[in-house]
Structure 1
Amino acid sequence: MTNIQTLDTPTLLLDHQKLLKNISDIADFANEQGVSYRPHIKTHKSVRIAQLQVEAGAVGITTAKISEAEVMAAGGIKDILIAYPISNPDKITRLIKLLHKGVRLKVSVDNPESLHFLQRRLEHTPYTLEVWIKVNSGLNRCGVEPGKEALLVAKAIMSHSKLKLGGIFTHAGHSYAAKTYEEIESIGLQEGLAVVESASECEQAGIPIPVRSVGSTPTFKIAGKVAGVTEIRPGNAVFFDAIQVGLGVTNIENCAVTLLASVVGVYKDRIIFDTGSKSLCLDKGAHGNQTVSGFGEIIGHPEVLIERLSEEHGVGVFEQKTDLKLNDKVQIIPNHACTVVNQFEEYVVHENGHVIDIWKVDARGMVK
């Protein structure tokens, strides 16, 4: 068997046992709470991993973009939520093609105007499109305000013959900016309530809301316990990363993805790795997270801080002596696994340091 230490670098490594443990942990939580599990695949972008999640009990998947949905559908995944607003006519044509292929599609809406675009393109087809209302639970990105604004969109959906209201959902991405776990707990509670209270507003007006869905890896085990929530959609929890460790969401031992890197330069005040911004990414969290130091955690070498990145160089500094030398190889836990995975074409899957398989990052670069 090939030892990972013999591989060329930089290489994207995936610990098979940690992956399966993380998938099982999410599925177990969903079963315990009596909620459905619809993981976001923007983290792993892999048909193989999506299939493992479905085998573990996921009712379907979530994607960010249509192109991701197209790749997953081609790989046999047939129940897909596209958690992104869509009104462009060309993109709606692509939605119709997915419906034609038998995909049980759901699409995010938060604007009555977008409903007209969807209705117009669907009118000359035999299909009805399921739409879910996105509510804003504090991230202040997409989404209507919970409650009465959600009801207005729900009423508008009911007036369109080619649209079917299937659920209400939200994403508490601002949890990544939390400074304490207590703050994450508060955000998670508000996340669940934003969905449940919006659904209640609609149902009091006679509009049923079958699915009440929450997301965000830091909060899904909090929002998922709110009475009335029926589904969770964590993405990053399949791998975890240094940001999740910094937030107190998980332990470093659960991080399934690492980058194998080589030492290419050793100097009296710094050490250089062959993992720059084109592999590790210049990411410390999209929503203001400050719980990470540097640009990745080097396993077994806490004395080295990756202080800065250029395109092909990771510059490490050390206050105490390090035994790393030229051509040594290390594993680096990335700050943000989602962006790092998108830089690579394949995972090298390993167990106990030995390569067991190669899996393609099928939806790499699918951003349209």
Structure 2
Amino acid sequence: MIKVQDLDTPTLLLDYKKVIQNISEVSSFANEIGVAVRPHIKTHKSIKIAELQLNAGAVGITVAKIGEAEVMAEGGIKDILVAYPIASPQKINRIIQLLKKGIRVKVAVDQEVQLQLLNDVLQHTSLELEVWIKVNSGLNRCGVEPGPHALKLAEKIMMKKQLKLGGIFTHAGHSYAAKSIEDIHKIGVDEGKAVVDSASECEKAGIPIAVRSVGSTPTYKQAGAVKGITEIRPGNAVFFDAIQVGLGVTTLERCALTLLASVVGVYQDRIVFDTGSKSLCLDKGAHGNETVKGYGLIQGHEEITLERLSEEHGVGVFLQSPKLQVNDVVQIIPNHACTVANMFNEYVVHEDGLVIDHWKVDARGRVK
């Protein structure tokens, strides 16, 4: 077997034991509180990892884009939520093709105009499309306001012959800007209540809501525990990363994804690695996160801060000279695992320092 330290660099590494542990933790939590799991695969974009999640009890998957849904469908996955508003004719026709193949696909809606556009295209078919209302729980991105506004949209859905209301969901992405665990807990509870309150408004009006779904890795345990929630959709929890560590959601030991990099130069005031923005990305958190320092955590070398990246170079600074030389290799925990995974064609899967497999990043680059 090949040892990890003998691989060429930069290489995307995935610790098998850790990823299995992370999948198991989500599944165990869901079983304990009695909710379903529909993990967001935009983190890993891998059919193999999605299959592991389904084998652990997930009822289906969540995707961000139709391109991801198409890849997962080709891989044999039948139950898919596209957690993104769909309105353009091109995209609606792609959804129709998935329905014709027997895929149980659902799409997000948050505006009346989307309903009309979806129904206009679908009325030329005999197909029915399941839609889920996305409510805004504080991120202020997409999403109808919870409560009466969600009910108004639900009533409009009920009037569309070829649309079926299947659920209400939200994503508390603003939890990534939380200043403390206490803040995360509050955001999570509010996230769950935004969905439950919206569902209650609908059911008081005689509109049943079968699925009440929450997401966000930092908050899924708090939001999932809100009475009335039926499903959780964590994505990053399959890997974890430096942002999750900074938020206090997990520990360094639970981070399954790392980037293997080599030292290309050691200088008086800096050290340079062969990984830059084209592999580690420049992400420090999309929603205001300020808990990370630098552009990744170098395992075993806390004295180094990866201060800046160019395209192919990672430049680290240090308070004391590190015990590293040219061609030494290190593993770097990325700030944001989702964006880094999308930069590579495959995961090199390892266990106890030995390479055991290679898994494709099947939906890499599927952003349409």
- TM tier, smaller: over 0.9
Confirm or deny that 1:200 pairs with 2:226: no
Give the structure 2 partner of residue 118 of structure 1: 118
Tell me, in whole angstroms, the C-alpha distance in 1 between the residues paired with 2:78 and 2:16. Answer: 25
Which residue type is aligned with residue 54 of structure 1?
Answer: L
Structure 2 CA distance for aligned equivalents of residues 239 and 123 of structure 1: 41
After superposition, what is the alpha-carbon deviation per residue over 1:13-39, rounded to whole angstroms, capped at 9, x for unaligned?
A: 000000000000000000001000000
Equivalent position of 1:97 in the other structure: 97
Q: Tell me by how many angstroms 1:321 deviates.
A: 2.3
CA deviations over 1:243-272 (Å, ceiling 9, x no partner)? 000000001100000000000011010000
Residue 31 of structure 2 aligns to a residue in which SS? helix
Q: How does 1:3-42 map to 2 (within 5 A)?
A: 3-42=3-42
Other structure's SS at 2:174 match: helix
Structure 2 counterpart of 1:215: 215
Question: Quick one: distance in 2 between partners of 1:324 and 1:189?
Answer: 46
| Equivalent residue number for residue 129 of structure 2 | 129
| 1:341 matched residue in structure 2 | 341
Match of 1:233 in 2: 233
Q: Name the SS for the 1:191 alignment partner.
A: helix
Q: CA deviation at 1:352?
A: 0.5
Q: Distance in 1 between matches of 2:76 and 2:106?
A: 16
Matched residue type, 2:291:
T
1:308 is aligned to 2:292: no
Alpha-carbon deviation of 1:125?
A: 1.1
| RMSD (Å), alpha carbons | 0.4
Cα distance, 1:161 vs. partner? 0.5
Deviations 1:140-199 (A, max 9, x none): 000000000000100000000000000000000000000111000010000000000000
Matched with 1:324 is: 324
Tell me how far apart the structure 1 counterparts of residues 367 and 322 of structure 2 sit (CA, whole Å). 41
Within 2, Cα distance between the matches of 1:326 and 1:114? 56
CA distance in 2, matches of 1:105, 1:66: 10
**In structure 1, C-alpha distance between the alignment counterparts of 2:280 and 2:10, rounded to whole Å:** 10
> Which residue in 2 is equivalent to 1:351?
351
SS at match of 1:114: helix
Within 5 Å, which residues of 2 pair with 1:48-127? 48-127=48-127
- Give structure 1 regions of 4+ aligned residues with deviation exceeding 6 angstroms: none
CA distance in 2, matches of 1:124, 1:322: 66
Residue 299 of structure 2 corresponds to which residue in structure 1? 299
Question: In the aligned structure 2, how far is the partner of 1:61 from the partner of 1:352?
Answer: 30
1:100-140 superposed Cα distances (whole Å, 9 cap, x missing partner): 00000110000011101110111121210000000000000
Q: Secondary structure at the match of 2:98?
A: helix
The aligned amino acid for 1:174 is: H
Percentage identity across aligned positions?
72
For residue 50 of structure 1, what is the amino acid of its counterpart? A
For the residue of structure 2 that corresponds to 1:232, the secondary structure is strand
Quote the Cα distance in structure 1 between the aligned partners of 2:166 and 2:284: 35
Task: Report what 1:183 is aligned to.
Answer: 183
Question: Which residue number corresponds to residue 360 of structure 2?
Answer: 360
Q: Distance in 2 between matches of 1:46 and 1:355?
A: 18
Q: Secondary structure at the match of 1:315?
A: strand
Matches of 2:246 and 2:118 in 1, distance apart?
41
Determine the C-alpha separation between the residues in 2 that align with 1:322 and 1:144: 51
Shift in Å, 1:320: 1.2
CA–CA distance in structure 2, aligned partners of residues 170 and 268 of structure 1: 50
Q: Per the alignment, in what secondary structure is the counterpart of residue 76 of structure 2? A: coil
Tell me the alpha carbon deviations over residues 294-313 of structure 1, each in whole angstroms, 9 at most, x when there is no partner. Answer: 00000000011100000100
Partner in structure 1 of residue 245 of structure 2? 245
Quote the residue 1:269 is aligned against.
Answer: 269
Distance 1:70 1:153 in 2: 28
In 1: Cα distance, 2:345 partner to 2:172 partner: 29
Q: Which amino acid aligns with 2:259?
A: L
Distance 1:152 1:233 in 2: 25
* Partner Cα separation in structure 1 for residue 340 and residue 143 of structure 2: 27
Partner-residue secondary structure (3-state), 2:69 = helix
The aligned amino acid for 2:113 is E
Q: TM-score, normalised by structure 2?
A: 1.00
Amino acid at match of 2:171: H
Inter-partner Cα distance in structure 2 for 1:6 and 1:32: 42
1:347 counterpart SS class: strand
In the alignment, the residues of structure 2 paired with residue 32 and residue 187 of structure 1 have an alpha-carbon distance, to the nearest angstrom, of 22
Gaps of 5+ in 2: none
Unaligned runs of 5+ in 1: none
Give me the whole-angstrom Cα distance separating, in 2, the residues matched to 1:328 and 1:287.
35
